Amino acid sequence: MAIYLHGGEVTNVFRLAGRDENSASYALGWTLDQSPHYRSLVLKEAFGHRINASDAVITLQSHGEDGGYTDIEIRSGQDVHAILEAKLSWNLPTIDQLNRYVNRLVTAKAKHQRLISVSAAHQAHASRQLPSSLHGIGLSHLSWSDLRRLAQEAEPMTSVLHEKLWLRQLGQHLREFASMERNKSNLVYMVVLSEKPMIEGQTHTWIDVVEKDGCYFHPVGNGSNRWPPQPQNYIGFRYWGRLQSVHHVDSYEIVNDLSAYNPLWVPTNSDHFVYRLGPPMRPAHELKNGNIWPNGRFECAIDTLLSGAFETIRDAVDETNRRLANGN
């Protein structure tokens, strides 16, 4: 037995509301209300110590005089007031957006106050991008993976069947938000490698990072540097005017100083995804660039690159864009 919505299988009741940002925050808000054990674990993770919020009221999409809508607010009398701002992918809320909600917390004057950022980004990355407080209000970050893990931890803590049910449903729903379908994507992120040395006076080239080190790295996208804000599933490399190889990303880490990770690599002081690459997959025939920007970065469906059905990378790009535009 199975149920489908818009062609996709519905694995939990929350999926009936879709798979967007609101769907995730509504599911989280509902479970925070239905499971006091889960609520306690989430608040402990955010505040760093146990918080009593047994009589908490959960509010979704609350409009304020600041003109904004908070995704989730948790209130418990004059003791607790937390505001959660949720984002998809690895995106983080902006400081301007979070500042907008500070006055709500200050005005409420609860004993324990907290701004909580939620996205797919790891806590380590978020801690380097966001301050620990704003105007005296503590700021924490929880990833969708963290929230899913806490739901799994809360389940054995309760003997109430309906509470267990909602915790399981939330865990199933947050699975795709935690990964943002990275493991299911058949899109290849295409980049260009240079044969020039990474560091002046040295011999280790950008091509060597892939061919010798079995790795690749790029900055974590932040909305302005045009790099992806989340890790990729497949990476394709082109140089000398054609596609050389496609690799599955077997694992990744977030590294601030690349030279500390590998002394042959360029020193950096910002977060980078460092990928461990699987074996190379070669195209069925030589696949030249065609009419594309020489240094451009873009995505292609993996079959358009490897099957031999297309003559150039330009053709593969066009076919991928056609499929995405048609929803297939």
Span 111-128, mean pLDDT?
88
Confirm if 177 and 20 have CB atoms less than 8 A apart: no
What tens digit of pLDDT does each residue of 62-74 get?
876 666 788 999 9
pTM of the model: 0.68
**Phi–psi pair at 10, nearest 5 degrees:** -95, 110
Pairing of the two strands 137-143 and 215-219:
unpaired
**23 pLDDT more than 70:** yes
Of the candidates 214, 201, 204, 191, the one whose C-alpha atom is nearest the C-alpha of residue 259 is 204
Quote the pLDDT of residue 226: 85
Would you give the end-to-end CA distance of the chain in angstroms? 25
Whether 298 shows a pLDDT value over 70: the answer reads yes
Are the CB atoms for 128 and 90 separated by under 8 Å?
Answer: no
Q: What is the pLDDT of residue 2?
A: 64
34-92 pLDDT, tens digit each: 999 999 999 999 999 998 888 899 999 887 666 678 899 999 989 999 999 998 777 88
The strand pair at 137-143 and 8-9 is best described as: unpaired
3-state DSSP assignment of residue 198:
coil
**Backbone torsions φ then ψ of 244, nearest 5 degrees:** -100, -45
The confidence score (pLDDT) of residue 213 equals 97
Average pLDDT, the chain: 89
**Which pLDDT tens digit goes with each residue over 144-195?**
989 999 999 999 999 999 999 999 999 888 887 776 545 557 899 999 999 9
Q: What is the pLDDT of residue 21?
A: 78
| Higher per-residue confidence, 134 vs 224 | 134
Could you tell me the pLDDT band of residue 256, with boundaries at 50, 70 and 90? very high
What percentage of the chain exceeds 70 in pLDDT?
92
**Per-residue confidence (pLDDT) for residue 63, from 0 to 100:** 76
Residue 13 has pLDDT above 90, yes or no: no
Q: What is the pLDDT of residue 181?
A: 46
Residues 207 and 194 sit within 8 Å (Cβ to Cβ): yes
In this model, does residue 260 exceed pLDDT 50? yes
Tell which wins on pLDDT, 171 or 20: 171
Radius of gyration of the chain from its Cα atoms, rounded to whole angstroms: 23
Q: How far is 28 from 46, CA to CA, in rounded Å?
A: 15
Please compute the mean of the pLDDT values over residues 248-275 and round it to a whole number: 94
